[in-house]
Amino acid sequence: MQLRINVRGIASWRDVDDLPTGSLVEGEIIRAIEHDADAIALFLTPSCLQSDFIWRVEVPAALRRHKRDPHFHIVPLLQGISFAEVQQFCYNRKLADLSRFNGIVLADGTTSETKQEQNKKRNDVARRILQDAFALHLRRIHADHSYEPSIYLSTFGLTPSNIPDLSLDWQKVIDGKEHIPTAQEWEEILWPALLDVKRTISEKIPSHRIHLFIKGILPVAIALGFVFRETCGIALLLEGQKEIWSTETSPSEQEPLHCEWTYNDQGDQQIAVIGIATTLSIKQSISETLSVVNFTPAYCIQLESPELSRESVRDAAHARAIAQQVRHICRKLCDQQRVRQIHLFVAIPVELAVLIGHQLNALCSITLYEYSKGSYQPIGGLS
């Protein structure tokens, strides 16, 4: 649960785990609950009912905070106990009834819930905590209708220079290039997290403009742009370059990248491979990947900058032109060639990856690849 909260951008504080060494435990916990937190999740189990400290210190502090500020949410998570038991326990302790809060019952291994149902329930909990905490955060900072929030996403464990509104910590699942996510981690944890962030931003931010800071692998940047794709009506302001790269910038030209289009009439007519390179050539790496996968694409498209370097993408207008060129090629493959699966390989600036993802709307399924430990590996899909 803590991982699912963290990847959605909410920093979670776990009582004694996050206390400074030598600090006064009780006072620090009370201060954190009554003044610092934007929401509290109470994980209620049979063992929890035996903890004097939780019911003497933590629960009363949460109830006092909620009484003082009804916008502070208490989220009971029940595992192995019922709401009736929680109600009776609170009555015995002379505490306000926690069962009156909209809690969620989690599977304890004795139910017939499938793994898919359990995963959905955990994601539902994480989404609710995100929405509750983010709403109170905006209220605390007095954000008005013109407020433009900031989102920071990292897979490298880097700390942002400015404190963002949401800090998506993905390092526990993607450790730089040492560990890339499995298909299960992508589908069950990471992709739902991005969808929840997009939904929360869409609901809570009237300005529909957000500032993005990303220090992560390229497929994640593409996915981030994709969830906030053009049809969402949300402007992305990408920080990190010498200037802000905005999705509102007009493209500078029509086809900035050289395009090499190869057709194999013996390949699968529903599969295409696209390679996009502005920093270094990836043709050989893609060829090596295709030699070991269990499919043969009918279409292979290589998009490459005339000069490969870290500075080959000149500015925001140039980046927008590249992103639109990629969109036009993808749309041609899907609409005219009836391709149903695109495999996407990139070696580009991370901000350009977001802009490309922003353009990939109403297309077929797209599989993203990351170069890790000497070869390209699939990490997840967009659909």
- Residue 378 has a pLDDT of 93
Give residue 11's identity as a one-letter amino acid code: A
Residue 344, both tokens: 């996407």
> Do the Cβ atoms of 343 and 272 come closer than 8 Å?
yes
The share of the chain scoring above pLDDT 70, in percent, equals: 96
CA 240 to CA 214: how far, in whole Å? Answer: 8
CA 29 to CA 363: how far, in whole Å? Answer: 49
CA-based diameter of the chain, in Å? 76
* Ordered structural domains, the chain, with CATH: 2-121 (3.40.50.10140), 150-246 (no CATH), 258-382 (3.40.50.261)
Helix (H, G, I), strand (E, B) or coil at 291: coil
DSSP state of 207: T
CA 373 to CA 177: how far, in whole Å? Answer: 8
Q: Which of 49, 57, 48 is nearest to 28 (CA)?
A: 57
- Residue 362 has a pLDDT of 79
DSSP state of 165: S
CA 224 to CA 357: how far, in whole Å? Answer: 7
pLDDT at 25 over 90: no
Q: Higher pLDDT residue, 372 or 246? A: 246
CA 248 to CA 210: how far, in whole Å? Answer: 12
Q: Higher pLDDT residue, 177 or 96? A: 96
Residue 11, both tokens: 């920093």
- Residue 16 has a pLDDT of 55
Residues 73-132: tens digit of each pLDDT: 999 999 999 999 999 999 999 999 999 998 888 877 666 778 888 899 899 999 999 999
Residue 106, both tokens: 């989690």
pTM of the full predicted structure?
0.90
Residues 319-338: tens digit of each pLDDT: 999 999 999 999 999 999 99
CA 236 to CA 240: how far, in whole Å? Answer: 13
CA 35 to CA 27: how far, in whole Å? Answer: 12
